[in-house]
Amino acid sequence: MPGHFTTTTETVTTGSAETVTDLTRLCEGFLARHAEGADGLLNLFVPHATAGIAIIETGAGSDDDLLTALHALLPADDRWQHRHGSPGHGRDHVLPALVPPHATLPVVAGRLQLGTWQSVCLVDTNKDNPERQVRLSFLG
Per-residue pLDDT of 22-68, as tens digits, reads 999 999 999 999 999 999 999 999 999 999 999 999 989 999 999 99
Model pLDDT, residue 43:
98
Integer Cα distance of 114 and 97 in angstroms: 23
Answer positive or negative: Cα dihedral of 43, 32, 59, 46.
positive
Helices (H) and strands (E) in the chain, counts: 3, 8
Q: How many domains does the chain have?
A: 1
Model pLDDT, residue 2:
59
Integer Cα distance of 19 and 41 in angstroms: 26
CATH code where residue 105 lies:
2.60.120.460
User: Residue 1: pLDDT above 80?
Assistant: no
The whole-number average pLDDT for the span 64-92 is 89
For residue 72, the enclosing domain spans: 5-139
User: Residue 80: pLDDT above 90?
Assistant: no
120 and 114 Cβ atoms separated by less than 8 Å? yes
Model-level pTM? 0.94
Integer Cα distance of 133 and 46 in angstroms: 6
Between 35-44, 56-65, 78-87, 116-125, the lowest mean confidence (pLDDT) is in 78-87
